[in-house]
Amino acid sequence: MGVSICFASGKGGVGKSTIVANLGIALARYKLKTVVVDGNLEGPSLGLIMGIKPNIASLHDVLSGEIGVESAMVKVDGLDVVVGELKVEGLLDINFELFERTIEDLEKKYEIVIVDCPPGLGRDAVVAISSCYEMVLVVTPEITSISEALKTIIIAKKLGTKIIGVIINKAGSKYDIPHERISDILELPILGVLPEDDEIKRALMEGKPVILLKPNSRFSREIEEVAAKLMERIYPYKPIS
Protein backbone atom coordinates (compact mmCIF):
# COMPACT_ATOMS: atom_id res chain seq x y z
CA MET A 1 0.00 0.00 0.00
CA GLY A 2 1.44 3.34 -1.04
CA VAL A 3 0.83 6.74 0.49
CA SER A 4 -1.14 9.53 -1.15
CA ILE A 5 -0.01 13.12 -0.61
CA CYS A 6 -1.85 16.14 -1.92
CA PHE A 7 -0.06 19.42 -2.53
CA ALA A 8 -2.32 22.26 -1.50
CA SER A 9 -2.06 25.96 -0.81
CA GLY A 10 -5.44 27.62 -0.80
CA LYS A 11 -3.98 30.42 -2.88
CA GLY A 12 -3.44 29.87 -6.61
CA GLY A 13 -0.23 30.63 -8.43
CA VAL A 14 2.12 29.75 -5.57
CA GLY A 15 3.79 26.96 -7.55
CA LYS A 16 2.00 23.73 -6.62
CA SER A 17 1.86 22.36 -10.15
CA THR A 18 5.45 23.33 -10.89
CA ILE A 19 6.60 21.61 -7.70
CA VAL A 20 4.51 18.48 -8.23
CA ALA A 21 5.80 18.04 -11.79
CA ASN A 22 9.45 18.41 -10.83
CA LEU A 23 9.19 16.50 -7.57
CA GLY A 24 7.47 13.63 -9.34
CA ILE A 25 10.39 13.28 -11.71
CA ALA A 26 12.87 13.46 -8.83
CA LEU A 27 11.01 10.75 -6.89
CA ALA A 28 10.81 8.48 -9.92
CA ARG A 29 14.56 8.90 -10.34
CA TYR A 30 15.06 7.66 -6.80
CA LYS A 31 13.34 4.51 -8.11
CA LEU A 32 10.25 5.11 -6.02
CA LYS A 33 7.16 3.90 -7.84
CA THR A 34 5.51 7.27 -8.29
CA VAL A 35 2.42 8.65 -9.98
CA VAL A 36 1.35 12.29 -10.13
CA VAL A 37 -2.28 13.20 -10.67
CA ASP A 38 -3.59 16.55 -11.86
CA GLY A 39 -6.38 17.12 -9.36
CA ASN A 40 -6.95 20.66 -10.59
CA LEU A 41 -9.99 19.68 -12.64
CA GLU A 42 -10.97 23.21 -13.64
CA GLY A 43 -7.48 24.36 -14.51
CA PRO A 44 -5.17 21.43 -15.15
CA SER A 45 -1.59 22.37 -15.97
CA LEU A 46 0.63 19.35 -15.34
CA GLY A 47 0.36 18.32 -19.00
CA LEU A 48 1.52 21.74 -20.11
CA ILE A 49 4.37 21.91 -17.62
CA MET A 50 5.57 18.44 -18.60
CA GLY A 51 5.16 18.91 -22.33
CA ILE A 52 2.58 16.15 -22.71
CA LYS A 53 0.60 16.53 -25.89
CA PRO A 54 -3.10 17.28 -25.43
CA ASN A 55 -6.02 15.12 -26.60
CA ILE A 56 -5.02 12.06 -24.65
CA ALA A 57 -6.95 10.17 -22.02
CA SER A 58 -7.28 12.23 -18.85
CA LEU A 59 -8.45 12.10 -15.25
CA HIS A 60 -11.74 13.51 -16.51
CA ASP A 61 -12.30 10.36 -18.57
CA VAL A 62 -11.57 8.30 -15.47
CA LEU A 63 -13.94 10.35 -13.32
CA SER A 64 -16.72 10.16 -15.87
CA GLY A 65 -16.43 6.38 -15.63
CA GLU A 66 -15.34 5.92 -19.22
CA ILE A 67 -11.98 4.31 -18.58
CA GLY A 68 -9.93 2.86 -15.76
CA VAL A 69 -7.12 4.97 -14.36
CA GLU A 70 -4.44 2.66 -15.80
CA SER A 71 -5.61 3.67 -19.29
CA ALA A 72 -4.95 7.33 -18.50
CA MET A 73 -1.25 6.91 -17.67
CA VAL A 74 1.38 8.85 -19.56
CA LYS A 75 5.11 8.33 -18.98
CA VAL A 76 7.44 11.30 -18.59
CA ASP A 77 11.06 10.48 -17.83
CA GLY A 78 10.15 7.35 -15.90
CA LEU A 79 7.28 9.01 -14.04
CA ASP A 80 3.62 8.06 -14.46
CA VAL A 81 1.33 11.04 -14.93
CA VAL A 82 -2.45 11.38 -15.05
CA VAL A 83 -3.25 14.67 -16.76
CA GLY A 84 -6.45 16.71 -16.77
CA GLU A 85 -8.77 17.54 -19.63
CA LEU A 86 -8.13 20.96 -21.14
CA LYS A 87 -11.59 21.28 -22.70
CA VAL A 88 -14.01 22.77 -20.17
CA GLU A 89 -16.90 20.59 -21.37
CA GLY A 90 -15.06 17.72 -19.74
CA LEU A 91 -16.16 19.08 -16.37
CA LEU A 92 -19.82 18.31 -16.99
CA ASP A 93 -19.54 14.53 -16.75
CA ILE A 94 -17.40 14.30 -13.66
CA ASN A 95 -18.52 12.09 -10.83
CA PHE A 96 -16.63 13.38 -7.79
CA GLU A 97 -17.28 10.16 -5.91
CA LEU A 98 -14.93 8.37 -8.26
CA PHE A 99 -12.04 10.59 -7.19
CA GLU A 100 -11.43 8.89 -3.86
CA ARG A 101 -11.75 5.42 -5.41
CA THR A 102 -9.25 6.39 -8.11
CA ILE A 103 -6.71 7.48 -5.53
CA GLU A 104 -7.29 4.24 -3.61
CA ASP A 105 -6.66 2.25 -6.79
CA LEU A 106 -3.43 4.12 -7.34
CA GLU A 107 -2.29 3.59 -3.74
CA LYS A 108 -2.44 -0.13 -4.41
CA LYS A 109 -0.12 0.09 -7.39
CA TYR A 110 2.29 2.86 -6.45
CA GLU A 111 4.52 3.64 -3.51
CA ILE A 112 3.63 7.30 -3.65
CA VAL A 113 0.64 9.05 -5.22
CA ILE A 114 1.03 12.80 -5.55
CA VAL A 115 -2.06 14.89 -6.17
CA ASP A 116 -1.83 18.45 -7.45
CA CYS A 117 -4.70 20.27 -5.72
CA PRO A 118 -6.81 23.01 -7.24
CA PRO A 119 -6.59 26.51 -5.75
CA GLY A 120 -9.26 27.61 -3.31
CA LEU A 121 -11.22 25.38 -0.98
CA GLY A 122 -14.22 24.56 -3.15
CA ARG A 123 -15.73 21.15 -3.83
CA ASP A 124 -12.89 20.03 -6.11
CA ALA A 125 -10.24 20.94 -3.55
CA VAL A 126 -12.15 19.30 -0.71
CA VAL A 127 -12.51 16.07 -2.69
CA ALA A 128 -8.81 16.03 -3.52
CA ILE A 129 -7.78 16.75 0.07
CA SER A 130 -10.12 14.22 1.64
CA SER A 131 -9.00 11.53 -0.81
CA CYS A 132 -5.38 11.77 0.33
CA TYR A 133 -3.78 10.48 3.54
CA GLU A 134 -1.36 13.33 3.81
CA MET A 135 -0.80 16.88 2.66
CA VAL A 136 2.12 19.11 1.89
CA LEU A 137 1.34 22.82 2.08
CA VAL A 138 2.90 25.10 -0.50
CA VAL A 139 3.23 28.78 0.33
CA THR A 140 5.04 31.85 -0.90
CA PRO A 141 6.65 33.98 1.83
CA GLU A 142 3.84 36.55 1.82
CA ILE A 143 1.06 37.34 4.26
CA THR A 144 -1.76 36.56 1.81
CA SER A 145 -0.35 33.11 1.18
CA ILE A 146 -0.07 32.48 4.93
CA SER A 147 -3.75 33.34 5.47
CA GLU A 148 -4.80 30.94 2.71
CA ALA A 149 -2.52 28.28 4.16
CA LEU A 150 -4.23 28.67 7.55
CA LYS A 151 -7.60 28.14 5.87
CA THR A 152 -6.25 25.01 4.23
CA ILE A 153 -4.99 23.76 7.60
CA ILE A 154 -8.46 24.25 9.11
CA ILE A 155 -10.07 22.26 6.29
CA ALA A 156 -7.43 19.52 6.33
CA LYS A 157 -7.98 19.04 10.07
CA LYS A 158 -11.74 18.71 9.57
CA LEU A 159 -11.21 16.21 6.75
CA GLY A 160 -8.62 14.19 8.67
CA THR A 161 -5.77 14.70 6.23
CA LYS A 162 -2.44 14.88 8.01
CA ILE A 163 -0.19 17.79 7.05
CA ILE A 164 3.44 16.71 7.00
CA GLY A 165 5.13 20.01 6.28
CA VAL A 166 5.38 23.18 4.27
CA ILE A 167 7.35 24.09 1.15
CA ILE A 168 8.21 27.76 0.75
CA ASN A 169 8.36 28.67 -2.94
CA LYS A 170 9.43 31.81 -4.78
CA ALA A 171 11.75 32.65 -1.91
CA GLY A 172 14.72 34.95 -1.85
CA SER A 173 13.44 38.52 -1.67
CA LYS A 174 14.47 40.75 1.22
CA TYR A 175 10.75 41.21 1.84
CA ASP A 176 10.18 37.50 2.45
CA ILE A 177 8.48 36.70 5.70
CA PRO A 178 11.36 34.99 7.54
CA HIS A 179 11.06 31.27 6.95
CA GLU A 180 11.23 30.33 10.66
CA ARG A 181 8.27 32.64 11.28
CA ILE A 182 6.29 30.75 8.63
CA SER A 183 7.17 27.44 10.25
CA ASP A 184 6.14 28.91 13.62
CA ILE A 185 2.77 30.28 12.68
CA LEU A 186 1.76 27.22 10.65
CA GLU A 187 3.26 24.88 13.27
CA LEU A 188 4.81 22.83 10.49
CA PRO A 189 8.33 21.73 9.63
CA ILE A 190 9.83 23.22 6.48
CA LEU A 191 10.37 20.52 3.87
CA GLY A 192 12.06 22.84 1.40
CA VAL A 193 12.75 26.42 0.42
CA LEU A 194 12.67 26.93 -3.34
CA PRO A 195 14.09 30.09 -4.88
CA GLU A 196 12.28 32.36 -7.30
CA ASP A 197 13.86 31.41 -10.61
CA ASP A 198 13.16 32.84 -14.06
CA GLU A 199 14.21 29.59 -15.68
CA ILE A 200 10.92 28.12 -14.49
CA LYS A 201 9.02 30.36 -16.88
CA ARG A 202 11.34 29.40 -19.71
CA ALA A 203 10.86 25.75 -18.80
CA LEU A 204 7.10 26.28 -19.02
CA MET A 205 7.47 27.82 -22.47
CA GLU A 206 9.55 24.89 -23.61
CA GLY A 207 7.25 22.32 -22.05
CA LYS A 208 10.13 20.76 -20.19
CA PRO A 209 10.25 20.64 -16.37
CA VAL A 210 13.13 22.69 -15.01
CA ILE A 211 14.65 19.65 -13.29
CA LEU A 212 15.30 18.26 -16.80
CA LEU A 213 16.12 21.59 -18.42
CA LYS A 214 18.41 22.92 -15.66
CA PRO A 215 19.26 20.02 -13.37
CA ASN A 216 21.98 21.98 -11.61
CA SER A 217 19.93 25.05 -10.78
CA ARG A 218 19.27 25.74 -7.11
CA PHE A 219 15.57 25.13 -7.65
CA SER A 220 16.23 21.67 -9.08
CA ARG A 221 18.64 20.76 -6.30
CA GLU A 222 16.19 21.87 -3.65
CA ILE A 223 13.48 19.79 -5.31
CA GLU A 224 15.80 16.80 -5.09
CA GLU A 225 16.24 17.43 -1.38
CA VAL A 226 12.50 17.55 -0.84
CA ALA A 227 12.23 14.29 -2.77
CA ALA A 228 14.90 12.74 -0.57
CA LYS A 229 13.00 13.82 2.54
CA LEU A 230 9.71 12.35 1.30
CA MET A 231 11.52 9.22 0.25
CA GLU A 232 13.05 8.81 3.71
CA ARG A 233 9.69 9.22 5.42
CA ILE A 234 7.97 6.71 3.22
CA TYR A 235 10.76 4.25 2.88
CA PRO A 236 13.36 4.57 5.62
CA TYR A 237 15.25 1.49 4.46
CA LYS A 238 15.42 1.89 0.71
CA PRO A 239 18.82 3.21 -0.34
CA ILE A 240 18.78 6.24 -2.64
CA SER A 241 20.35 5.19 -5.92
Ligand X SMILES: Nc1ncnc2c1ncn2[C@@H]1O[C@H](COP(=O)(O)OP(=O)(O)O)[C@@H](O)[C@H]1O
Nearest alpha-carbon partner for 223 in 186, 199, 195 = 195
- Angle, CA of 229, 40 and 202, to the nearest 5°: 70
Q: Using CB under 6 A, pick the residue from 112, 193, 194, 230 that binds ligand X.
A: 194
Site for ligand X in 4-43 (CB under 6 A): 9, 12-18
φ, ψ (nearest 5 deg) of residue 229 = -65, -45
Interaction of residue 90 with ligand X, rule CB under 6 A: no
Interaction of residue 48 with other proteins, rule CB under 8 A: no
List the x/- string, 133-172, binding to other proteins by CB under 8 A. Answer: ---------xx--xx--xx-xx--x---------------
Q: Which amino acid is at 214?
A: K
Q: Using CB under 6 A, pick the residue from 200, 223, 230, 231 that binds ligand X.
A: 200
Residues 135 and 5 sit within 8 Å (Cβ to Cβ)? yes
Q: How many CB atoms are located within 10 Å of the residue 154 CB?
A: 12
Residue 197, Cα to own-chain centre: how many angstroms? 19
List the x/- string, 100-129, binding to ligand X by CB under 6 A. Answer: -------------------x----------
- Angle, CA of 40, 192 and 138, to the nearest 5°: 30
Which residues contact other proteins (rule: CB under 8 A)? 142-143, 146-147, 150-151, 153-154, 157, 174-175, 177-178, 180-181, 184-185
Which positions lie near ligand X, rule CB under 6 A? 9, 12-18, 45, 119, 169-170, 194, 196-197, 200-201, 204, 219
